[in-house]
A and B are shown apart, each in its own frame.
Chain A
Amino acid sequence: MRRERSLNMALMAVLLVFPLWAWSADEPFLITLSTRAVIFAIAGVGLNFALGLGGLVSLGHAAFFGIGGYAMGILAYHAQTYTPLMEWPLLIEGSKAMPVIWAVAIMASGLAALGIGALSLRTTGVYFIMITLAFAQMFYFFTISWPSYGGEDGLSIYVRNGLFGLNTMDPITFYAISYGWLVVVLFVVSRAARAPFGLALSAARQNAARVQAVGQVPYRLYLVAFTISGAITGLAGALFADLNRFVSPTMFSWQTSGEIMVFVILGGVGRVFGPVAGAALFILLEHLLGGVSEFWLVYLGAILLGVVLFARGGLYGLIAGREVAHD
């Protein structure tokens, strides 16, 4: 436990110091790279809440990532074209204010997770994996065939959204915002994991029948966990769209779901900070291997295969030892 905690501290310190160094060395690209890592980490922390704590193997978290992205895209698009989002029954305008966009992204993806979860959680095991994948794919095809917001081409937003008059186009400012969100999300998730709800959820993962016997309803626990998980991943999607100032159906693709899961696994399933390590490692590998070969995904595949077959605890398992039961 002590080693895990010092690893957490080291990780967060590196994520704080490295971009600051890049800022002083005037390397905006490295700051953007770190921002990507932090946003992917938020998405991974979201998935890990359902996967690590609740044992829900969702291969459809791209749905929530994408909904968060489109929440930002649609609101900002209406604001930049000065067209209302909706005129009847009540007038809704677009918005370029980050807090509004975040709130909408969290609510929309949370609601979607509630709906998808309510249906998918009727099943377990391999059915659950396939069904979550299929629902994400449904959103993917829907955005491709829906012409109002760019269809297959996606939506470009010209200027990054605003927060309290800060210059959010400055990479280090946007990095600070993303890092702030990562800290908030990690705090919420680690508190939730130790709260009665998190303990009940962990117990339901390990033995649903016993949890039921003491009067808890596993289905309800799973559903709440899945909803929170989707909402966090949706927030990451909104930040990611803001970083790129662009949304497209790719955010909904099955590869995105797979990648979010890869962040969780590379870091270590069930560790609160695992996805942070995983996302940082993923970005590092992408950057280093991408320099070696155009076909760097082959190497990534081989590394991932090695981790799954021989180092199941991920980075955290290697460094901090196996303390978390992986079942």
Chain B
Amino acid sequence: MSTVLLIEQTLNGLQFGMMLFLMAAGLTLIFGVMGLINLAHGSLYMVGAFAAAAVAGATGSFLLALAASLVAAALAGVVVEMTVIRRLYDRDHLDQVLATFALILIFSEGTRWVFGSFPLFLDRPDWLAGTVMLPFGIEYSLYRLSIIGAGLVVAAGLFWMIARTRIGIQIRAGENDREMIGALGVNIARLYTLVFALGAALAGIAGAMIGAIQSVQVGMGEPVLILAFVVIVIGGIGSIKGALVGALLVGLTDTLGRLLLPQLFGLVMAPSAAMSVGASLSSMAIYILMAGVLIFRPSGLFGRARDAA
């Protein structure tokens, strides 16, 4: 196996991890601030991708498509928060799971109703097509590299917002004691809607960016949602830093596992057996990683023990 392939796959893993981070950051923020488990987060990812595909199809502009994904997902988030999610904050987790499961059904079938069952295609723009030469003579897709870059920018912006801005202070205060900040005159209902919209927008733009690599179709959100769950279980619920570390760990484990495990088994087995055993095991690798983290740190790498309650 060549070093070039290894580095290429590492970059792919980083790109995958960055996308997972955008999903996981929203989920973990929403859980941290509002104490809500949101299964419908994957639907917002899908809404972003469909909005981008529709706008790109109509205008041909990729930047407009990205903007549309942000706006559409954030708007969908606001509507859902104000009509349904708001009633769930003081319910138990079971009610939250069921209500958001119902939202998935409505979103998925509703989208199928509007757009049909066939996948849509979102082309990456010309100015991001092709490859770039990296040091050591590695050729890599410019688009995927841009995704890594965009992910880093969003992550930096998010950390800055949480640590430095007024809204970030309110979010952190809300995580600690929601009654108190209400008493101090912060409009809690508006803060919650805002946080939900922010999480939705992050999911939406992730959907749009991935939509240009894969196809845009109904049900694209849920596999990513479940991976994002794995990410925040590993990282610790409520922690943005944990979401970043967990996302990169999961992205790299998944991508490199698919590359390395079949070759590893190839050392001791016949090639065809090694391929099938390696493929089966690598599809389970991230869950094994999760189980391993759980054995040693039941509340995740960066989680606080009280959040597990």
Contact = CB atoms under 8 A, between A and B. Distances in A.
A125 interface: yes
B216 interface: no
A261 to B, nearest CB: 7
Nearest to A134: B230
Given A122-B294, A146-B276, A309-B99, A301 B299 contact: no
Interface stretch (A38-46, A136-144, A187-195, A228-236): A136-144
B237 A304 contact: no
A250 to B, nearest CB: 12
B294 A123 contact: yes
A127 B308 contact: yes
Nearest to A255: B222
Nearest to A300: B105
Given A300-B105, A305-B84, A133 B98 contact: no
Nearest to A135: B287
A183 interface: no
B174 to A, nearest CB: 17
B109 A301 contact: yes
Given A269-B94, A295-B113, A141 B103 contact: no
A130 B298 CA distance: 13
A322 interface: no
A78 interface: no
A147 B287 contact: no
Which secondary structure dominates where chain B touches chain A?
helix
Interface centre among A126, A129, A144, A265 (most CB of B within 10 A): A126
Nearest to A130: B229
Given A126-B37, A308-B99, A131 B110 contact: no
Interface residues of A, number: 45
Contacts of B308: 123-125, 127
A289 to B, nearest CB: 11
A298 B43 CA distance: 14
A297 interface: yes
Given A134-B230, A295-B113, A129 B283 contact: no
Contacts of A300: 102, 105
A59 B298 CA distance: 18
A142 B309 contact: no
B170 to A, nearest CB: 22
A144 B294 CA distance: 25
A125 B304 CA distance: 14
A147 B275 CA distance: 10
Contacts of A134: 226, 229-230, 233, 287, 290
Interface centre among A125, A133, A308 (most CB of B within 10 A): A308
A130 B287 contact: no
Given A305-B99, A309-B99, A57 B280 contact: no
Interface string A239-272: 0000000000000001000100110010001000
A170 interface: no
A131 B106 CA distance: 25
Contact of B103 (A57, A126, A133, A301): A301
Given A51-B94, A122-B298, A308-B99, A133 B229 contact: yes
Contacts of A298: 105-106, 109-110, 113
B95 A142 contact: no
Given A142-B284, A146-B280, A309 B84 contact: yes
Contacts of A124: 308-309
A262 B98 contact: yes
A127 B284 CA distance: 19
B274 interface: no
Contact of A327 (B92, B109, B279): B92
Given A133-B229, A146-B280, A304-B101, A119 B294 contact: yes
A159 to B, nearest CB: 29
B31 interface: yes
Contacts of B31: 126
Contacts of B109: 295-298, 301
A123 B298 contact: yes
B243 to A, nearest CB: 13
B103 A129 contact: no
Interface in B281-305: 282-284, 287, 290-291, 294-295, 298-300
28 contacts: A119-B291, A120-B294, A123-B298, A123-B308, A125-B309, A126-B31, A129-B97, A130-B37, A131-B290, A133-B226, A133-B229, A144-B283, A145-B280, A145-B283, A146-B280, A258-B101, A261-B101, A262-B98, A296-B109, A298-B105, A302-B102, A304-B99, A304-B102, A305-B103, A305-B106, A308-B102, A309-B84, A309-B99
Interface of A: 51, 57, 59, 119-120, 122-127, 129-131, 133-135, 137-138, 141-142, 144-148, 254, 258, 261-262, 265, 269, 295-298, 300-302, 304-305, 308-309, 312, 327
Given A119-B291, A148-B276, 8 more contacts: A123-B298, A131-B233, A134-B226, A145-B283, A269-B94, A295-B112, A298-B110, A305-B103
What are the nearest 3 A-B pairs in CB distance?
Answer: A301-B105, A138-B287, A301-B106
Interface of B: 31, 37, 84, 87, 92-95, 97-99, 101-106, 108-110, 112-113, 222, 226, 229-230, 232-233, 237, 276, 279-280, 282-284, 287, 290-291, 294-295, 298-300, 308-309
